[in-house]
Structure 1
Amino acid sequence: MQCIFFSVSVIQHAFFVSKTYGIIFLPYIFFFFSILKTILVSPLCRNRASRGAVIQSSTSGDWFAEKAIDGNRGLQQLYTGCSSTLNQTNPWWRVDLPHIYRVSRVVVTNRNDCCTEQINGAEIRIGNSLENNGNNNPICAVIPDIPAGESYRYSCGGMEGRYVNLIIPGNMKILTLCEVEVFGKENIAINGKAVQSSTLPYEANKAIDNADLYCTHTETEANPWWRLDLMDLQVIQEVIVTNRIDCCFEQINGAEIRIGNSLENNGNNNPICAVISSIPAGVSSTYTCNGMEGRYVNLFIPGDTKYLTLCEVQVYEEGMMKQAELFHQQ
Structure 2
Amino acid sequence: MLWSLLFISLIGSAQNDDGTALCNTQLLPLNRTKTSQKSNYTDKNQLIYSSERATDGNMTTCAITGTESDPWWRIDLLRVYNISYITIYNTVAYNTDISGAQIHIGSSSENNGITNSICKEITNFKQNEWNNFTCITTMSGRYITVFYPGNKPLILCEVMIYGTITAPSSARNFKSTAQNETSITLQWNKVNDYISFILQFNGREIDIAAPDGDGPVTYTVSSLTAGTTYTFALFSVFENVRSSGVSITAVTAKRPNYVLVMNVEFELLTQLSDSDLQSVLEEVFRQYGLSPQLSFKVLRREIRKD
Give me the TM-score of the superposition, normalised by structure 2: 0.47
Larger radius of gyration: 2
Q: RCO (CA 8 Å, sep 6+): is it higher in 1 or 2?
A: 1
Give me the TM-score of the superposition, normalised by structure 1: 0.44
Relative to total residues, which structure has the larger helix share, 1 or 2? 1
